[in-house]
């Protein structure tokens, strides 16, 4: 058995691994299809998927890393965010937004310097980290966000 957090409604579901492998697992609350390692890696989001992947996620925070491939500090925190995603256990979600390829979202949230990490919970922007941060600082902000009532 494995505990899987629904990416749609945030409900925790006990699921047999075999059902995850065959894509038969569905959330008991909302019926959304469940995937076992959905949050173990950062999800790449775009202007088109931002609303669904960041703002419509309920019950847990979503950290959106606003970055660009040419940015040295962005490349430095990339592995940190990979680690945090692997350690999330469904408590939060990590997403990456390339600001060069997605100017609408970058403009909407006034991203003036990168890396900038935006933390959303239940559709609301609740925190912003600007510049390269150590893993512990990012983890602490995510921990606070998990307790935040949006």
Burial 112-137 (b: 16+ CB within 10 A, else e): eebbbbbbbbbeeebbebeebbeeee
Q: Is 74 a catalytic residue?
A: yes
Catalytic residue, candidates 6, 27, 66, 74: 74
Catalytic residue, candidates 6, 27, 66, 71: 71
125, 119 Cβ separation under 8 angstroms:
yes
Q: Is 6 a catalytic residue?
A: no
* Dist. CA 149–CA 85, nearest whole Å: 22
Q: Where are the beta strands (DSSP E) in the chain?
A: 2-5, 12-15, 43-45, 62-67, 93-98, 116-121, 124-130
Active-site residue list = 71, 74
């Amino acid at each position: 058995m494995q505990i899987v957090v629904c990416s749609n409604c945030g409900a925790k579901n006990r699921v047999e691994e075999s059902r995850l492998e065959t894509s038969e697992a569905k959330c008991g609350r909302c019926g959304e299809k469940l995937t076992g390692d959905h949050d173990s890696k950062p999800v790449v989001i775009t202007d088109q998927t931002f609303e669904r992947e960041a703002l419509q996620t309920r019950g847990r925070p979503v950290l959106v890393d606003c970055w660009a491939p040419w940015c040295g500090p962005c490349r430095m925190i990339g592995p940190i965010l990979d680690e945090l995603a692997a350690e999330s256990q469904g408590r939060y979600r990590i997403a990456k937004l390339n600001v060069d390829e997605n100017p609408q979202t970058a403009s909407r949230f006034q991203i003036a310097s990168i890396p900038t990490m935006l933390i959303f919970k239940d559709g609301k922007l609740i925190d912003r980290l600007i510049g390269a941060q150590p893993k512990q600082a990012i983890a602490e902000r995510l921990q606070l966000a998990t307790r935040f009532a949006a």
